[in-house]
Amino acid sequence: MKAIIVEHKQPEQANGLTLTELPAPIPAEGELLVKVRAAAVNRTDIVTREGQSGYAVNPVLGVEIAGVVEQADGNSGFAPGDRVMGLVNGGGYAEYAVMPAERAMKIPDAYSFAEAAAVPEVFLTAYQTLYWIGRLQPHESVLIHAGASGVGTAAIQLAKTLSRAQVIVTAGSEEKLDFCRNLGADVGINYKTQSFEQEVLQATDGQGVDLILDFVGADYWDKNLASIKKEGRWVLIGILGGVQVEQVNLFALMSKCVQLTGTLLTPRSDAYKARLTADFVSEVFPRIERGEIKPIVDTVFPLEQAIEAQRHMEENRNIGKIILQVGKED
Amino acid sequence: MKAIIVEHKQPEQANGLTLTELPAPIPAEGELLVKVRAAAVNRTDIVTREGQSGYAVNPVLGVEIAGVVEQADGNSGFAPGDRVMGLVNGGGYAEYAVMPAERAMKIPDAYSFAEAAAVPEVFLTAYQTLYWIGRLQPHESVLIHAGASGVGTAAIQLAKTLSRAQVIVTAGSEEKLDFCRNLGADVGINYKTQSFEQEVLQATDGQGVDLILDFVGADYWDKNLASIKKEGRWVLIGILGGVQVEQVNLFALMSKCVQLTGTLLTPRSDAYKARLTADFVSEVFPRIERGEIKPIVDTVFPLEQAIEAQRHMEENRNIGKIILQVGKED
């Protein structure tokens, strides 16, 4: 089968991606073999390409797919021909991939494979960070950085639909902010022209937000601390703005009684991902099937153009998800 | 009444304490007037003396007392003559103090006032950090820094008695470590002669601990991160080792999925303290009354020697609580 692996270049050059020919993976017990029709691009793939993740074991990139079941155990709940989407332990940028059956989700009939591939990682991450980690309560306020990103667009929809939360987003252009407002965001802040912590305090009567979904990290450290309510929760899920914070004042965390949780979804255990998927399906799927929540696809690239797809993400040009189409169109 | 207030010295000198004469406080609705028999010394008092807490409004120091009810509302559940202990919003270092009735606890018959004054702040803090914030589960492992401190000695007992946890403590002398072991600690680490993160990993099969109670802060940042289990909880509750961390690597928090919560008890709301007290009384009081859990009194100073009592704490000479006796002995 065709598959995309990392092309290790000379030390002074950035690694690239290579389309290669590999044997199709063999499903272990409890796994489905899936003919991949679409895979989505995630920042974790870029980190892996750069050789920095430290946890990727599968040489083939890609952590989520949508496709058709090719082979399934009798007691898996799935049968050949079923359209499924879900997280995989690497191996998504390929014609075939294996997926633990307990984290496979049936694709809603109305969805194309590209739309389906845009669901798992960002919606599961948004659900996990807003609810499992962030414990968002009805009508609370949440600050979502990178509001037009894949996880951002998913989080806006979940926070509005499930919790009627006050949703405040940051993004770097008016186009992105308009998109977020159309998805339901109450307040859009252009981080290039506005001071977001001042806008957040103004939008929350000087209290700050109950919850922050932070994809930015170091650059926003002090501003996030200024934007969070006393006893607020702060979920650190990305480091677009740098990994190293200089001079962290611990008393500020203590006197505001802040809870800061670092998280990544990809390195979590199989059991965790299965529980998260099951909870997501039970809480959110009815709303997905009713069309109240929808995946946001930015661009579809053919599998062969995986490096161009990653560059599109690295340049922050996308609103929503970047998809790799595998094989012929839907 | 006699009371201890902060004596503001010249800018270049450390503030001192002054014994002064003030009118007794007048209880508001829902408050008890208590004749103070013992007050305990806490680090928050020292921070307030230094003018750095930013939240103390009562000019009289002291956040916990034991004494006798002098005046009570009919529907408060208390009557004049009752022996009570509990948290106060400042005003503890004095002959009379007011205490919200909903956070007053009846003193067990077997306890002296000095023992009773050694209960509220450290046991409520240990209970709050281990259970409300740290969510300690049965048989989990917990690393307690400053194991011989007031909160440390309370936390060792609670973690062993309520959760049969694996308790690992650090302290700076063999005498303190022996004391901790006698209270139930499984592993004692002398931070002056041992590398605590290596000892923690050895005691936990290389996994690290589920929970850290951290009173140290900056100096232990990297070592705590090395000592915590994946998905572990880290409760930051003191800054004995400095407030400023020079460099924080956020990816380390993310890849280990660490939850870090800063907390202080004193600036929490009245409602929070009342709920915490009620939960503590229901979960822990039966064990206190059966003698399974006991307050640890280090030294009793007369009220007039409040500054000497604070210095004793600043020099880390105590094992357990430092008490101020108000009026004549029990």
Distance from CA of B133 to the nearest CA of A (A): 9
> Both tokens of residue A111?
């969805």
Q: What backbone phi and psi angles, to 5 degrees, belong to A311?
A: -65, -40
Q: Which residues pair with B65 in a beta bridge?
A: B39, B86
- The number of C-beta contacts closer than 8 angstroms across A and B is 98
Count of alpha carbons within 13 Å of A61, Cβ hemisphere only? 31
* Chain B residues near residue A218 by CB distance under 8 angstroms: 250
Report the chain A residue with the minimal C-alpha distance to residue B129. Answer: A257
**Beta carbons of A257 and B250 less than 8 Å apart:** no
| B3, pLDDT greater than 70 | yes
Q: CB of A54 within 8 Å of any CB in chain B?
A: yes
Alpha carbon distance B24, B3 (integer Å): 9
At A6, which helix (H) or strand (E)? strand A2-7
| DSSP bridge pairs for A97 | A34
Which residues of A fall within a CB distance of 8 Å from B252? 262
From 3.40.50.970, 3.10.290.10, 3.40.50.720, 3.30.10.20, which CATH number describes the B123-262 domain? 3.40.50.720
pLDDT at position A55: 64
Helix axes A270-289, A150-163, angle to 10 degrees: 60
Q: Are residues A243 and B249, on separate chains, in Cβ contact within 8 Å?
A: yes
The partner residue sitting opposite A248, judged by closest CB among B248, B255, B257, is B248
What is the DSSP secondary-structure string of B208-256? -EEEEEES-GGGGHHHHHHHEEEEEEEEE---TT-SEEEEEEHHHHHHT
Residue B216: its chain A contacts at CB < 8 A? none
Report the C-alpha gap between A62 and A89 in whole angstroms.
Answer: 8
pLDDT value, residue B310? 96
Tell me the pLDDT of chain B averaged across its residues.
94
| Per-residue pLDDT at B171 exceeds 90 | yes
Question: Is B268 in Cβ contact with A254 (below 8 Å)?
Answer: no
Question: Cβ contacts (< 8 Å) between A268 and chain B: which residues?
Answer: 257
Asked if B250 lies within 8 A of A54 by C-beta distance, the reply is no
The b-or-e profile of B71-107 (16+ CB within 10 A means b, else e) is bbeeebebeeebbbbbbbbbbbbbbbbbbbbbbbbbb
Q: What pLDDT is attached to residue B11?
A: 76
Quickly name the fold that domain B2-119+295-325 has: Quinone Oxidoreductase; Chain A, domain 1 (3.90.180)
CA-based nearest distance B173→chain A, Å? 26
pLDDT tens sequence across B209-237: 999 999 899 999 999 999 999 999 999 99
What is the pLDDT at residue A231?
Answer: 95
* Interface contact A239, partner B, CB < 8 A: yes
Q: How far apart are alpha carbons B35 and B191 in whole angstroms?
A: 41
The pLDDT, as a whole number, for residue A252 is 92
CB B30 within 8 A of CB B98: no
Token reading at B213: 């109670």
- Closest chain A residue to B259, measured at CA: A261
Which chain A positions have a beta carbon within 8 Å of B55's beta carbon?
255
Q: What is the pLDDT of residues B80-98, one digit of tens each?
A: 999 999 999 999 999 999 9
Pick from A244, A254, A264: CB nearest B249: A244
Q: Say if A257 is an interface residue toward chain B (CB within 8 Å).
A: yes
What does the domain layout of chain B look like in residue ranges?
2-119+295-325, 123-262
Query: How many angstroms separate the CA atoms of B105 and B120, rounded?
Result: 9
User: What is the complex's ipTM, to 2 decimals?
Assistant: 0.86
What separation in angstroms does the CA of B195 have from each of A76, A176, B25, B234, B249? 49, 50, 50, 19, 21
**8 Å CB contact of B250 and A239:** yes
Distance CA B292, CA B294 (A): 7
pLDDT at B18: 94
Q: Looking at residue A329, what is its pLDDT?
A: 67
The answer, for A264 touching chain B at a CB cutoff of 8 Å, is yes
- Residue B74 at interface with chain A, using a CB cutoff of 8 Å: no
Chain B interface disruption, residue of A248, A266, A269, most B CBs within 10 A: A248
131-160 in B: which are within 8 Å (CB) of A?
133
To the nearest whole angstrom, how far is the Cα of A145 from the nearest Cα of chain B? 16
What is the model's pLDDT at position A20?
95
pLDDT < 70: residue spans in chain A: 53-56, 329-330
Task: Find the DSSP H helices in chain A.
Answer: 43-49, 113-117, 120-127, 150-163, 174-183, 196-203, 221-227, 250-255, 270-289, 306-314
Residue A47 contacts B, CB cutoff 8 Å = no
Q: Which residues in chain A have their CB less than 8 angstroms from residue B217's CB?
A: 250
Tell me which H or E stretch contains A167: strand A166-171
The mean pLDDT value for B294-298 works out to 94
- The shortest C-alpha distance from A110 to chain B (Å) reads 35
pLDDT (tens digit per residue) in A248-294 = 999 999 999 999 999 998 888 889 999 999 999 999 999 998 999 99
pLDDT value, residue B241: 84
The alpha-carbon radius of gyration of chain B (Å, integer) is 20
pLDDT recorded at residue A241: 84
Q: How confident is the model at residue B52 (pLDDT cuts 50, 70, 90)?
A: confident
Distance of alpha carbon A44 from alpha carbon B59, whole angstroms: 54
Does domain A2-119+269-325 fall under CATH 3.40.640.10? My reply is: no
A276/B contact by beta carbon, under 8 A = no
Give the tokens for residue A320: 């929503």
Residue of chain B minimizing CA distance to A216: B250
Is residue B271 pLDDT above 90, yes or no?
yes
Angle at A161 between CA A160 and CA A163, to 5 degrees: 65
Which of A133, A217, A250 is opposite residue B262, by nearest beta carbon?
A250
The fraction of chain A above a pLDDT of 70, given in percent, is 98
Of A244, A250, A264, A268, which to mutate for an interface test with B (greatest number of B Cβ within 10 Å)? Answer: A250
Nearest by Cα to A37 from A93, A77, A79, A80 = A93
Measured between CB atoms, does B250 come within 8 Å of chain A? yes
Instruction: Look at residues B329, B323, B326 and name the one whose alpha carbon lies nearest to residue B42.
Output: B323
Q: A75 or B163, which is more confident?
A: B163
CB A251 to CB B239 under 8 A?
A: yes
Residue B325: closest CA among B93, B49, B85, B90? B93
Q: Indicate the pLDDT class of residue B72, thresholds 50, 70 and 90.
A: very high
Contact list in A for residue B257 (CB cut-off 8 A) is 261-264, 267-268
Considering only alpha carbons, which residue of chain A is nearest residue B219? A250
pLDDT at A330: 61
The partner residue sitting opposite B243, judged by closest CB among A239, A250, A256, is: A250
pLDDT digits (tens, 9 = 90+) for A235-250: 999 888 889 999 999 9
